[in-house]
């Protein structure tokens, strides 16, 4: 099974208004549930001793400064997620090492088609700024994930987008469209300014 972040196979974001309870927030990002209603997707999670993440080989044509900032941003994102989820051993491994989550930096711009990831349902899909795809098994345990970054993302947005995409690769795939969360959550649909997990992000 697969779920695409942009566009989602089910629902990309949920529109709400004002602060949500912790339960409603969790169910929204975890299974696309509108507050007060049931899930619209499966609840999936990593269930293994170590979840490894790394970069795929980076094209020589990818902007050097963006690649360097994403390298730093990955370390920051791993640290944040590990601090929020002590039972999940998310670990960065060297390039070319086997990994559960592989990050692809592609020399493409917004609207261009993703290519060369090796995932048939991801390659050929138009990209926004970035896109994540996750896979799970019949037990709803995540098995692998791929994240793709375009080359024309403003450098000041790379950190916020990295923490959002890597957090979504934990199985929390639905964004929230709600002005209250524009400065409070990495899941905000309308903001790329939140560089740290918010209080409810960490709870989720």
Per-residue pLDDT tens for 24-62? 999 999 999 999 999 999 999 999 999 999 999 999 999
Question: Which ranges of the chain does DSSP label H, i.e. alpha helix?
Answer: 22-31, 64-84, 158-168, 199-203
Q: Work out the burial of residue 88: count CB atoms within 10 Å of its CB; fewer than 13 is exposed, 13-18 middle, 19 or more buried.
A: middle
- What is the pLDDT at residue 98? 94
| Cis-peptide, bond into residue 138, ω within 30° of zero | no
Mean pLDDT of the chain: 93
Question: Where residue 11 falls among pLDDT bands split at 50, 70, 90?
Answer: low
What is the four-CA torsion angle of 160, 75, 141, 106, rounded to 10 degrees?
A: 70
- What is the pLDDT at residue 2? 45
pTM for the full predicted model: 0.92
Residue whose token pair is 């779920």: 3
For residues 122 and 101, give the distance between their C-alpha atoms in angstroms, rounded to a whole number. 14
- What is the pLDDT at residue 7? 31
Encode pLDDT of 97-145 as tens digits: 999 999 999 999 999 999 999 999 899 999 999 999 999 999 999 999 9
Residue 6 has pLDDT above 80, yes or no: no
């Amino acid at each position: 099974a697969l779920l695409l972040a942009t566009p989602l196979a089910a629902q990309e974001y949920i529109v709400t208004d004002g602060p949500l309870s912790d339960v409603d927030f969790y169910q929204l990002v975890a299974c696309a549930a509108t507050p007060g209603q049931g899930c619209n997707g499966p609840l999936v999670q990593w269930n293994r001793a170590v979840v490894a993440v790394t970069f795929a080989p980076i094209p020589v044509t990818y902007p050097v400064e963006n690649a360097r900032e994403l390298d730093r941003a990955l370390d920051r994102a791993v640290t944040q997620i590990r601090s929020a989820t002590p039972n999940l051993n998310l670990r960065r491994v060297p390039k070319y090492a086997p990994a559960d989550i592989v990050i692809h930096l592609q020399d493409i711009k917004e609207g261009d088609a993703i290519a060369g990831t090796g995932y048939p349902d991801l390659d050929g899909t138009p990209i926004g700024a970035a896109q994540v795809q996750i896979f799970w098994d019949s037990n709803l345990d995540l098995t692998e994930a791929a994240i793709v970054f375009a080359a024309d993302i403003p450098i000041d947005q790379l950190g916020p987008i990295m923490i959002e995409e890597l957090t979504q690769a934990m199985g929390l795939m639905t964004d929230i469209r709600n002005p209250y969360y524009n400065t409070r959550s990495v899941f905000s649909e309308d903001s790329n300014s939140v560089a740290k997990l918010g209080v409810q992000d960490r709870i989720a």
